[in-house]
Structure 1
Amino acid sequence: MLTIALGAYETFPTDQYGKSAAGWRPGLTDHQVYESGRGRWKLGARANSERYALFTAKGIVVLAVEINSIGAPDADGRRTITGTVLQPGDPVYDKYVGEDPPVGRSQNPIQYIETPFDRTECACGCGNANPPGRTFVPGHDQKALHERVAKVGGVAAFLHWFDQTWTGEAVGATTTDGAE
């Protein structure tokens, strides 16, 4: 999970990215906090695999967002989060919003934590939770692949079947570590 500490709220002339405010102050709506806090951060590669972001201010979690995407770095290496603002009733919102941040104080406004909410079910169908940012529990991608090869009748039969059915269109892009 990504946590972002917001500074004091400030407004400014609309910049080239369409932003005219940043930070947090009491009385902002969730949408205003999202718009003022979601963009122009130096986010590392780990951010790409995070499912949720918490925005904190003055020692409290003020907003929870389910991340839909994180933009490519701009010229100065800063990125913007696009996501869905979570509401009461969502487990992440209920656990964190209005509570102390799940991270300690740091000079860096960006911190990462591992939580049970970051885990998804292994794509092999085993029912186990996989590590954050991964599609498979380690080794389960190979297990799933070999089970399917066996169903076709072995490697030679699989290769023949694949060559006869593949249209050249990728079904889904995955990395070498099994993460999508």
Structure 2
Amino acid sequence: MCGRYSLFTEQDNQEILKIVQELDRKYPGNSMRTGEIYPTNLAPVLLAEEEQIIPELSSWGFPHFRGSGVIINARAETAEEKRMFRDSLLFRRLAVPTTGFYEWDREKKKHRFLLPGESTLYLAGFYKLVKGERRYVILTTAANDSIANIHDRMPVILPRKRIRDWIFDTDRALGYLKEKMPALEDRKAE
């Protein structure tokens, strides 16, 4: 499961800083969240506009079908079968830029996971429009060895070089959901 992630905008992470600055220029006075991102927050995502990948703002979580709360994750193994997720997975995929995601161990200690040697981590997701507002969920899969001792699920990780295929190529995107995720680095979070 992925219930929180980080989006830090330090000067040394030019990739994230550029996305945030572009959205601030595009939407002055927006309520975009940075730092620790929680469900329902408005946050940056990367999605298709014609043949380009552009940053946009979106709220994290589909409205829950029972009427209260939000659905923030979808299982990669079953998303294509679920009516709530199928069209979004097939036609509205996006990448969620982060500086890591959080999980908690049995002692309630917080861990932040990143790709080794990278300051930016992209997560696979998809979106739909709800009453004119773009809402997204993050896909999860079975945890690999680098996170399994903390949690049995993890987000679907998108290496930078796979973002374009994920967003534009449905066959490759669906195939990628069956691949083994890259090993992550566990950084104890404060």
Provide TM-score, normalisation by structure 2. 0.25
Larger relative contact order (C-alpha < 8 A, sep ≥ 6)?
A: 2
Greater share of residues in helix: 1
Find the structure with the greater CA-based Rg: 1
